[in-house]
Structure 1
Amino acid sequence: MTLYFTKEHEWIAVDGGSATVGITDYAQAQLGDIVFVEVPVAGTAVEKGKEAAVVESVKAASDVYAPVSGTVTESNGALSDDPALVNTAPESDGWFFKLALADPSELDGLMDADGYKAFCESL
Structure 2
Amino acid sequence: MNRFSRYFSQFVGNSNMKYILVTGGVISGIGKGVISSSVGTILKACGLRVTSIKIDPYINIDAGTFSPYEHGEVFVLDDGGEVDLDLGNYERFLDIKLHRDNNITTGKIYQYVINKERRGDYLGKTVQ
TM-score by length of 1: 0.24
The structure number with the bigger radius of gyration is: 2
Bigger RCO of structures 1 and 2 (CA < 8 A, at least 6 apart): 1
